[in-house]
Structures are given as structure tokens and as C-alpha cells.
Amino acid sequence: MKEVLQAMMAAWKADGPLLAVLPRWYTTEAPDVTQMPYAVCFTLIEVPEYMFNTARPIENMPLQISVFEQSMSPATIMDIDTKLKAVFDFGALVVAGHTHVRTRRMGSSLMREDDGVNHLWVQYDVIAEKD
């Protein structure tokens, strides 16, 4: 799973429009004091490393990207969501030892937290096919 999280980060870094509106990306958790906007990408169900690397020829892994942004208008976070869709909805990732790694959006939700922070979460299913 570490490889998949790294591939997600690499896809984010490689996309100029997404990087421009979402300049900070963390895996698992963000530092306590983080300038917004930022994203945190993490696994929803931990797949043991040995299973991902050696077991079945096809593996599914659910991931979540949580985006945090603070403005009075939802326009900024909706623009971020549009750019996430362009990169990750039915996207391809590069992961060593796998011929095809695809991401598929499973759901999303936008909410405004009590502290005024906009929180967009997007769940993806990552489908990895072994060589």
C-alpha cells in the first residue's frame, strides 16, 4: 500500500493544474499546523503488504482523499474536486510489479466543519493487476 500511496502522490505532483490549486499533499495524516488548502490520502482498509506484493493477481484497495480548504465560498474546493476528477477518476497509476493500476471514484461528500473549514472527502477504489 505504501507504493500505491506514493503513486497517488506522484500523480498529484505530475499534474500542474491540480498542484496549482492544491499545493500540499500528505499521506496518512497532516501536521497539526498546516496551511490550507491541503489533502490527506490514506487507506480505508489496510491490506497487508505481503498480500499486495505476492498474493492474488488482482487486488482492490479502498482509499480516501480528504481535502481541507477555508473560504466563505465553496467555489475553491469545487474547483479542486474538478481537478481531482481529471487526475484520479478512472486514472492510471504506476506501481512497480503491476501491469495495470486504476483508480475509480466510489463516492464523495462536501461538508463545512464547525470551525468554518470546507472538507471534501472522495473515496476511490484502487484496482491493481499483477504482472
pLDDT at residue 74 in the model? 85
Average pLDDT, the chain: 89
Residues of the chain above pLDDT 70, percent:
89
Least confident among 5-9, 16-20, 56-60? 56-60
For the chain, the domains span: 2-130
pLDDT at residue 68 in the model? 96
Residues 95-106, mean pLDDT to the nearest whole number? 89
Side-chain half-sphere CA neighbours of 47 within 13 A: 24
Q: Domain 2-130, what fold?
A: STM4215-like (3.30.2000)
Specify whether the backbone of 129 is left (phi greater than 0), alpha (psi in -120 to 50) or beta.
Answer: beta
Whether residue 67 contacts residue 38, with contact meaning beta carbons closer than 8 Å, is answered with yes
Q: Encode pLDDT of 20-69 as tens digits.
A: 999 999 998 999 888 999 999 998 876 655 555 555 666 788 999 999 99
pTM over cut 0.85: yes
pLDDT at residue 130 in the model? 77
Angle CA 7–13–16, to nearest 5: 140
